[in-house]
């Protein structure tokens, strides 16, 4: 099973995913945006650069899934059309980690929003580049009004229900 967490930067995607891994099941592989970009040294945040990067992630997730490894992908993936295309190819379950821009800015420990608003970072999702919310996600996690633990439990239960249906 492949689960794709999408949402604004600092919405809680990776934090929720790590809670699922640590609190429920260590047999799930996490593919995280920051970690993967660091490993492959990809700093191309153009529309085409993002698309290629996400295609690579979806391919990796399909490969792991083919070998019966459940995968949680945690990526902003701001463009709906790209997510829709990748979902058709990989069959992932789209999970929207919903959080307001204001709350995401409050949570920004790296200062990325501040830099983006000062013009130091171009094409930053939520500031100088749009984020397109999913129209029909398989699951919505309200990370603004729910705790990390509540969101992780919801995600784990969703995954368990889907795996054993």
φ and ψ at 31, to 5 degrees?
Answer: -110, 110
Contact 10, 113 (CB under 8 A): yes
| Maximum C-alpha span of the chain | 49
Q: Which entry of 11, 74, 77, 143 is annotated as an active-site residue? A: 77
d(CA 120, CA 95): 30
Catalytic site includes residue 160:
no
* Rounded to 5°, angle at Cα 76 from 103 and 142: 45
The set of catalytic residues is 77
């Amino acid at each position: 099973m492949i689960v794709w967490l999408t949402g604004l930067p600092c919405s809680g995607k990776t934090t929720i995913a790590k809670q699922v891994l640590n609190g429920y099941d260590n047999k799930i592989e996490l593919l995280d945006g920051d970690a993967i970009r660091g490993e492959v040294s990809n700093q191309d945040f153009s529309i085409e650069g993002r698309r290629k990067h996400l295609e690579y992630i979806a391919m990796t997730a399909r490969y792991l899934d083919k070998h019966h490894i459940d995968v949680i992908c945690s990526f902003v993936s701001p463009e709906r059309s790209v997510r829709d295309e990748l979902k058709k190819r990989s069959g992932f379950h789209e999970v929207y980690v919903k959080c307001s821009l204001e709350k995401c800015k409050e949570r920004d420990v790296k200062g990325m929003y501040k830099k983006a608003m000062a013009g130091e970072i171009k094409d930053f999702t939520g500031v100088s580049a749009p984020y397109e919310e999913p129209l029909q996600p398989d699951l919505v996690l309200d990370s603004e009004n729910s705790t990390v633990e509540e969101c992780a439990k919801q995600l784990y239960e969703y995954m368990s229900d889907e795996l054993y249906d």
